[in-house]
Structure 1
Amino acid sequence: MLKALIIDDELKASDVLRLMLERYVPEIGQVLVCNDAREATTTIQQFRPDILFLDIRMPYFNGFDVLSRMQHRPFQVIFTTAYNEYTIQAIRFSAFDYLLKPIDAQDLVNAVQRYTHRQGELAYQPEQLKNIIKNMQADDPGQFRLAVPAREGIHFFLPSEIIRCEALGGYTKFFTTLNKQYLTSKNLGEYEELLTPYGFLRTHKSHLVNRTQISFIDHEGFLVLKDGTAVEVSRRKKAEIIQQLG
């Protein structure tokens, strides 16, 4: 059975989340609540949770401060936050999970289920934390660095450093301006949602392309990139892509 710790200064919000965990998530056998961020470090060390539900905005210490004070973090972090597009993008770019307040029961169940598939990524959390803090301090979302977990570790890229992404089954291969390729276990749809606001085009079910890397469209309807790669454009996407490229 899993142990969950909720750190949130809002009594009502923490009580609601505790009740939802007890009702909808049978995998969690113990739930503890901490409403004072000043006690968070001690509580984490004593309770040793598997999953930490962590509010971002709190008096005395914010959620990032709490994590920064922990040298070892052998638990999965799920941020809980009210809607703020900038904050959520910074979280998602850093590959952390999050739940929007008021928390939806199905979203909560899905987040806990994802925990079982991400235990191998716990070692990445120190670098993810550094990245999210940098993202939050960026003046422009275009300076957010995208966390890409791969077999050999976790890599961080500016959107401008990504040439294209290619779907390989349920995996995604990244092609970068650093002349290197990286394979991650996340599917292309997740990265399409993240990168579309930064000038990326889904040209085909298997291809997501940085429009700044497009050189021209050849006579056969392929996108030719600056590195010479020809990328397929699906029939149903062709008119839309041509229109977007002007």
Structure 2
Amino acid sequence: MITAVIIDDERHSVETLAWKLEKHCPEVQVSSTFTDPVEGLEFLQETKPDLLFLDIEMPRLNGFELLKKIVPIPFDVIFTTAYDEFGVKAIKFSALDYLLKPVQVDELKTAIEKHRQKVNTQLTSTQLKVLFSNIQEEKQGRPGKIALATKESIEFVFPEEIIACSSDSNYTMVYLENGRKKLISRTLKDIEELLSEYQFFRAHHSHLVNLRHVKEFVRNDGGYLIMSNQMTLPVSRSRREELLKQF
């Protein structure tokens, strides 16, 4: 049985999520709910659930501020948030889990299954440091660090350190500066959405490139790019014209 706590200042959101968990995720037992984040914090300082569903924007104490007061955090966290709320980008970059309101049943089930499959269900100090750092960067309109999660570890890098990304089924090979590369458990589409604001371009259905690292476009052999690490990547015919407009 997974014990869970819900903290959200909207009573309707709390009741709806608790009902969906009871009906569709019977392995989850909601032990307590709070609409006052300060009361929720006091409870968490005394009792440790397996899982916390945490709203971001709340009066008196927002979700991020609440977590700062608990570090280290001995439980897993799933943020519940509106699509356009501040902090969503920081959460995505930090490879933390979140659900968009109104919470959809299939997404809720997926989040619970991800929690069950985690080897370590606690937020690491590194994840939290990067999350809080990314929040500050978001406030300043700057890119934060993106989490590259492999089976063995999570590495956090700035977008400009990424040279290119290549699809490998449901995984993505990320090529980094200094000859490093990481096979991460995210699809290329996921990475493209994360990096869309930072001069990355889908040059081919299997390749996403950082335009800052493009050294040369060669028209021969169907057209390909030479990157800063000397790797060559093909360019789809349908993408050539759009690619050249980027320079």
Q: What TM-score do you get using the length of structure 2 for normalisation? A: 0.87
Deviation at 1:52, TM superposition (A): 0.9
8 A contact 2:203–2:209 mirrored in 1: yes
The structure carrying a bigger helix percent of its residues is 1
8 A contact 2:171–2:187 mirrored in 1: yes
Distance 1:123 1:54 in 2: 15
Deviation at 1:105, TM superposition (A): 2.7
Alpha carbons of structure 1 residues 208 and 121: separation in structure 2 relative to 1, 3 Å: farther
Aligned counterpart in structure 2 of residue 231 of structure 1, from 230, 233, 237: 233
Distance 2:85 2:104 in 1: 18
- Secondary structure of 2:121's match? helix
Distance 1:124 1:11 in 2: 26
Instruction: State how 1:53-72 maps to structure 2 within 5 Å.
Output: 53-72=53-72
8 A contact 2:199–2:210 mirrored in 1: yes
Which residue of the partner structure matches residue 92 of structure 2? 92
Structure 1 letter corresponding to 2:226? V
Distance 2:225 2:23 in 1: 51
Structure 1 letter corresponding to 2:235? V
Distance 1:36 1:84 in 2: 22
Q: Give the unaligned 5+ runs of structure 1.
A: none
8 A contact 1:51–1:76 mirrored in 2: yes
8 A contact 2:76–2:122 mirrored in 1: no
Instruction: State how 1:125-164 maps to structure 2 within 5 Å.
Output: 125-138=124-137, 139-164=139-164
Q: Deviations over 1:82-119 (max 9, x none)?
A: 232652111101111112223233322222222233x1
Moved more, 74-83 or 137-146: 137-146
Alpha carbons of structure 1 residues 92 and 141: separation in structure 2 relative to 1, 3 Å: farther
Distance 2:54 2:151 in 1: 27
Moved more, 128-137 or 67-76: 67-76
Q: What TM-score do you get using the length of structure 1 for normalisation? A: 0.87
Distance 2:78 2:16 in 1: 16
Deviation at 1:13, TM superposition (A): 1.6
- Secondary structure of 1:60's match? coil
RMSD between aligned residues: 2.3
Distance 2:75 2:142 in 1: 30
Which residue of the partner structure matches residue 9 of structure 1? 9
Distance 2:104 2:64 in 1: 23
Alpha carbons of structure 1 residues 121 and 160: separation in structure 2 relative to 1, 3 Å: farther
Alpha carbons of structure 1 residues 170 and 4: separation in structure 2 relative to 1, 3 Å: same
Is 1:172 the counterpart of 2:172? The answer is yes
Q: Deviations over 1:174-232 (max 9, x none)?
A: 22224322222222221111112211112223311101111221122011112221112
8 A contact 2:75–2:123 mirrored in 1: no
Distance 2:88 2:226 in 1: 34
Alpha carbons of structure 1 residues 11 and 85: separation in structure 2 relative to 1, 3 Å: closer
Deviation at 1:42, TM superposition (A): 4.1
Deviation at 1:163, TM superposition (A): 0.8
Moved more, 157-166 or 170-179: 170-179
Alpha carbons of structure 1 residues 31 and 75: separation in structure 2 relative to 1, 3 Å: same
Alpha carbons of structure 1 residues 86 and 54: separation in structure 2 relative to 1, 3 Å: closer
8 A contact 1:56–1:80 mirrored in 2: yes
8 A contact 1:142–1:198 mirrored in 2: no
Which residue of the partner structure matches residue 246 of structure 2? 245
Structure 2 letter corresponding to 1:76? D
